[in-house]
Structure 1
Amino acid sequence: MRGRLERLLGTGVDALADLGSSHAWTLHRASLADGREVFVKAASDQAGVFAAEAAGLRWLAEAGPGTPVPEVIAADDRLLVLPWLRSASPAPSTAERLGRELAVLHTSARPATYGAPWEGYIADLPLDNTSGDDDWPRWYAERRLEPFLRLGARHLSSADVRLVERVMADVQALAGPPEPPSRIHGDLWSGNVLWTGDRALLIDPAAHGGHRETDLAMLALFGTPHLDRVLAAYDEAAPLADGWRDRIPLHQLHPLLVHVALFGGSYRASLVDAARSTLGSG
């Protein structure tokens, strides 16, 4: 890997530290001969995943200056190279800045359609980014819920499957007021928020044109530090439609289905609760 990294970056690698693994790739910290430190993902057969992540980060950055994503230094079919970012403890002021910057990301340089012009992935599972028109509820049901319900069905009862299918059938009534597409991170659970000094940066995206409430719902799914500050700052900068809190479970159904597909029945109860809450809010 060292030789490939040197050829990709055009400089020597003085030190390479292993940081473990995630899904099908390994993680590394490299000290370069030109004085830089970088973070490296490496794999032998994850070309699509790395291409999607690099494309997503670059596309999110196109929203404008101050977009809270790291630079993509380099990428090929076996390596993804980002700056090495020093982590810091989350602070209320940093959370408020994240809320404001996330609002700008969602409301600036909006894409024309839902989806994205590249093949998507979430973790190492394919994600259908086929572009759709301005009907987000139908796009969400067809491109996000149905494929992962099929993948995870072996871990669910027939009653569980029917419950999610009810959400899909009623999604037009459950989705709230129409929203134009936003550039969203798409996998914004707390582990993909990297707190660095006075700023938080978003990593490991499943980026696409989507509904902005999706990112906020994912921040709430597994707990994010100072989430109340993030949401208050966001809502002040880009006010959300009435009832958005009631729609959080609807937006959480996709990541929960992904977790059922990846990790099995341990996420079944959370999925069922979210589906029931979604139907109860309609």
Structure 2
Amino acid sequence: MAEEIHRKTRPGAPAGFFDCEAAGLRWLGQASATGGARVARVLGVGPEELLLERIRPAAPDRAAAAAFGAALAATHDAGAPAFGAPPPGWSGPGFFGPLADPRPLPLHPRARFGEFYAADRLAPALAALDGVYGPAERAVFDAVARRLLAGDFDDDDPPARVHGDLWSGNLMWDRRGAVLIDPAAHGGHRESDLAMLELFGAPHLDAILGGYREAHPLPPGRERRVGLHQLYPVLMHAVLFGGGYAGHALRLARALV
């Protein structure tokens, strides 16, 4: 029987957009062989399309959610050469955002999480929001950046192999469990993927987090760090969609200084 294909297309896609996504899917998929999360398999790629295996949706249950949590920990544990490292086979910036309006995602390998997050996540997002925040509000974000650059949020955890845009819409479920799609894959901090899942909610989130912790215990105080890891995606939602996201990001930043 011929394999069912899902064709993802975007006429006029930015150069390399689908090649980058395919590289990220393959890199994440390599971890599946050692217990990592399942990833939609790449069947073909072109300048304006990506061919993937078709996933037949099914409702998740708590057991599937816990199994996904453990598998996500294994994916993260597969590691990356550095914070901000691109997936093998890709060079240059990645992409973050919806298919209709993807934005550049800086990918510069760095040794420290704080430097990576301040320079290659918060700074570009804030530059794209020039004029949205007044001087006093920008000073709050500058204070967060100083803490990041000073190493206040660094820990001993090595760079993880992260999905990079792990909201619930990029987590599909079929009869076998969870499947990752649409990554912005790079070397990052494992808590960023978890915080993204929490940002908009995910089915049986408590079971996902429980399965994750059982496979890979997290340092104390993770709940206090969720806002830090949500700050970049919320800023980018302000860039892409406006609305109340700018205020949401400011509240997250104020809680960090």
Calculate the TM-score normalised by the size of structure 1. 0.82
Of residues 154, 159, 162, the one that matches 1:181 is 159
* The structure with more strand, counted as a fraction of residues: 1
* Aligned-partner Cα distance in 1 for 2:82–2:58: 36
- Whether 2:39 is the aligned partner of 1:69: answer yes
User: Which secondary structure does the structure 2 equivalent of 1:154 belong to?
Assistant: coil
Matches of residues 151-170 of structure 1 in structure 2 within 5 Å? 151-170=128-147
* Aligned-partner Cα distance in 2 for 1:274–1:227: 21
- Check whether the contact 1:176–1:243 (CA below 8 A) recurs between aligned residues: no
Of residues 59, 81, 90, the one that matches 1:112 is 81
Once the two structures are superposed, residues 120-167 of structure 1 have per-residue CA deviations (whole angstroms, 9 ceiling, x without a partner) of 10021000011112x111111100110011102333333332211111
- Check whether the contact 2:114–2:154 (CA below 8 A) recurs between aligned residues: no
- Whether 2:120 is the aligned partner of 1:143: answer yes
Aligned to 1:52: 20
Aligned to 1:37: 4
- Check whether the contact 2:69–2:210 (CA below 8 A) recurs between aligned residues: yes
The amino acid across from 1:131 in the alignment is: P
Unaligned runs of 5+ in 2: none
- Check whether the contact 2:113–2:154 (CA below 8 A) recurs between aligned residues: no
* Aligned-partner Cα distance in 1 for 2:19–2:231: 26
The amino acid across from 2:238 in the alignment is: V
Aligned to 1:9: none
The amino acid across from 1:245 in the alignment is: E
- Check whether the contact 2:45–2:51 (CA below 8 A) recurs between aligned residues: yes
Once the two structures are superposed, residues 45-64 of structure 1 have per-residue CA deviations (whole angstroms, 9 ceiling, x without a partner) of 21322111111001111224
- Check whether the contact 1:42–1:80 (CA below 8 A) recurs between aligned residues: yes
* Aligned-partner Cα distance in 1 for 2:126–2:213: 32
**Higher RCO structure (Cα 8 Å, ≥6 apart):** 2
Quote how far apart the aligned CAs of 1:174 are: 4.0
Q: Which moved more, 1:155-164 or 1:253-262?
A: 155-164
Unaligned runs of 5+ in 1: 1-33
Matched length: 244
User: Which secondary structure does the structure 1 equivalent of 2:161 belong to?
Assistant: strand
Aligned to 1:14: none
> CA 1:64/1:86 → structure 2, altered by over 3 Å: closer, same or farther?
closer
User: Which secondary structure does the structure 2 equivalent of 1:63 belong to?
Assistant: helix
- Check whether the contact 1:253–1:271 (CA below 8 A) recurs between aligned residues: yes
The amino acid across from 1:74 in the alignment is: G
Whichever of the two has the greater Rg, that structure is 1
Segments ≥4 residues shifted beyond 4 Å: none
* Aligned-partner Cα distance in 2 for 1:114–1:121: 16
| RMSD of aligned residue pairs (Cα, Å) | 1.6
Calculate the TM-score normalised by the size of structure 2. 0.90
- Whether 2:181 is the aligned partner of 1:212: answer no
- Check whether the contact 1:186–1:208 (CA below 8 A) recurs between aligned residues: yes
